[in-house]
Amino acid sequence: MSSHPIAETVASLMPRAQQELAELVAFQSVADWAQFPRSESEKAAAWVAGALRAEGFQDVALLDTPDGTQSVYGYLPGPEGAPTVLLYAHYDVQPPLDEAAWVSPPFELTERDGRWYGRGAADCKGGFIMHLLALRALKADGGVPVAVKVIVEGSEEQGTGGLQQYAEAHPELLTADAIVIGDAGNFRTGLPTVTATLRGMTLLKVRIDTLAGNLHSGMFGGAAPDALAALIKVLDSLRAEDGSTTVDGLAADGVWEGLQYPEEDFRADAKVLDGVELIGDGTVADRLWARPAVTVLGIDCPPVIGATPSVHASAGALISLRIPPGADVQEAIKLLEAHLRAHTPWKARLELEVVGQGQPFQADTSSPAYASMAAAMEVGYPGQQMQISGMGGSIPLCNALTSLYPEAEMLLIGLSEPEAQIHAVNESVSPDELERLSVVEALFLVNYARSKQV
């Protein structure tokens, strides 16, 4: 770690950061009221608002967004004439999945083997703590040199677009010269990285009906159309033999020209079992950052335990389609829907419902903000230069902000490096990464303020 005074301040603040992250992780803030109480998310939002008030933020507000969740906003004035920087994170988290598979409780921050484990530790409660650390270090070093807006979303993981819709209805709220999205991650631990592209996404519910009710498979099987079999055929049509995504009419031959992802590293990061092949063609970077990817997220059908010898009348699935930069999400949805209809067998009845969507994103890496970030990363990560990568995930808000504020420079950094295992069991954050990136963000704000001085 650098011996810069800001780095020394951040290091001294790390015990407090760990305690605060533990408090925030303890809230079971999954923005799905069918799984977790709304009150848990409301408590997390209140905690974030309290933290902003304690740092001197003004106009702190719990914004009731159209999807029924709350985003937290605050404004910290800066010196006269200074630029404004918007810092983003989200406090909502993915559900813990199989809690029995967690080594330690998912909503209890636990230190183990040099990492802090807990749901949201990296994605993205840790991102909010990173923002706090950076601002505290600047205040201790003479003051924050820019005006700061903070927005902490309450439903990013659900993809329901509440903050996006709120921002579009209140476009003056989040205006800024630069935007730092704290919801990405380094390509590898210790390798400073800015994410320049994001795939867009859509979530589509599929339901197939063939019969008025289930039938005895002995008496009717072989002639009665089985809805589950029809669904399996439809889902299978979305992949080629090598596993590549195949949606009729949707381009799937993009090439990633930047930082590459060695296959052996990807296999280790993804924990691919020995002997199991990767899917798709092209480089790993092509597949992750430049091409579409379909995933079946869930299927509604009887479980094996308790299953009866029946021909099924209905079956359903939830499908995710990730869309690379250069493609339009609305066009991709039309192609996906047309594909599913064209590949539904036996004239089975098909119902489709779009339940989430977001456009892909591509940043301008030639902007002054990127130069300011590169200089900051060289200090925060001595001997390393900033890398620019893509990310296969989606942050729908990015495109909304780009549309609302086309002149704003946007950078994506964060704590979700591969070892963090975000969205999986045993999610964790590296405290070293939290410390370094907090230093980086603080120095970025200093550099960016200087770059805007006349």
Following DSSP, what letter does each residue of 207-228 receive, concatenated?
A: EEE-SSS-EEHHHHTTTSPPHH
Q: What is the structure's pLDDT at 2?
A: 61
**Which residues of the chain have a pLDDT value below 70?**
1-2, 454
- Can you read off the two tokens belonging to residue 236? 């299978």
- 36 Cβ partners below 8 Å, 6+ apart? 28, 29, 30, 95
Q: What is the structure's pLDDT at 356?
A: 84
Do the beta carbons of residue 24 and residue 91 sit within 8 Å?
Answer: yes
Characterise 108 by phi-psi region: left (phi > 0), alpha (psi -120 to 50), beta (else). Answer: beta
- 270 Cβ partners below 8 Å, 6+ apart? none
Question: What single letter denotes the amino acid at residue 123?
Answer: D
- 244 Cβ partners below 8 Å, 6+ apart? 252, 279, 280, 281, 291
Do the beta carbons of residue 322 and residue 199 sit within 8 Å?
Answer: yes
Do the beta carbons of residue 284 and residue 261 sit within 8 Å?
Answer: yes
- Can you read off the two tokens belonging to residue 114? 């040099």
Start-end of H helices in 103-245:
125-140, 162-169, 217-220, 227-236
Q: What is the structure's pLDDT at 393?
A: 80
Q: What is the structure's pLDDT at 1?
A: 57
Do the beta carbons of residue 381 and residue 186 sit within 8 Å?
Answer: no
Q: How far apart are the first and last CA of the chain?
A: 32
Catalytic center residues:
92, 156
- Can you read off the two tokens belonging to residue 404? 């609302």
Q: What is the structure's pLDDT at 400?
A: 86
- For residues 161 and 167, what is the distance between their CA atoms, to the nearest angstrom? 10
302: number of Cβ within 10 Å: 13
